[in-house]
Structure 1
Amino acid sequence: MSSSTNRKSSTQRSVVYYRCGLRAPVCNANTPKNKGRKFFWRLKFKEAGGCDFFQWVDGDSDGTDSTVKEEGCTIVEIMLENKMLLTKNMRLRVENNELNIDEMRRIRSRVTSLEEKIKL
């Protein structure tokens, strides 16, 4: 899993991006072993060609800045965000399809008009 860390001043929050280009939110672990431990995490968005991503904020494996501030997200909030994004994606696809249909109708009308002119 590749990621890049954009660090500003020590008073500002570090930002981690994963290979699909989205910003990783900071979450709190709720497991007994890691209660309260912060981590970067993103659900896998198969439909959008996204990626799996997980990294502890305290940097056990790669020295990530441990001063990252909590954004207050929970797994439930992340799942809700995912559902909202999927709904928005579906709505945009429907809208795009409707626009394509309208464009095809305009083209068909123009073709019919040109065919009539050719017959004259």
Structure 2
Amino acid sequence: MTSQEGGSSSASMNPEQKYCMCGKRARMNTSWTYNNPGRRFFTCARPKEATGCHFFEWVDDDFSGRAMAVITHLNHRRLYLEEKLKLVEENLSENDEKRKILQCQVEELTEGRIVMQAENQMLKKQMYFCVCVVVAMVALVLMLK
């Protein structure tokens, strides 16, 4: 990989002193391209700036074919698991929203049940009163005969 090639990398400062042609301390990055997965390299401290010197130097030797295959496989597995985690988190978020909606419905139904129980109690009292009135009227009619 040259300094002109694209690809993903992660950057960190190297404990050993390596300087680019600008005189600045070079940054150590890790390539995550298909051809150089996990391979470290030095680059200019200001590679994205127009004033950068485009310094580039590999830290690591080429990996063996087997090592590259393993690293590539693990990187694909990591990407797959990250995507799966994203889907699980989205599903969790959707389920949390559904749970909140259901919780509101439970609260509304509970309030409705309490109101209906109170109405039922009042209807029982009214029915008891009506039965008492009917019994009293029947008794009164029988007494007047």
Same fold by TM-score greater than 0.5? no
- TM-score bracket for the superposition, by shorter chain length: 0.3 to 0.5
**Larger helix proportion of the pair:** 2
Q: TM-score, normalised by structure 2?
A: 0.36
| Larger relative contact order (Cα-Cα within 8 Å, sequence gap ≥ 6) | 1
Structure index of larger Rg: 2
**Larger strand proportion of the pair:** 1
Q: TM-score, normalised by structure 1?
A: 0.41
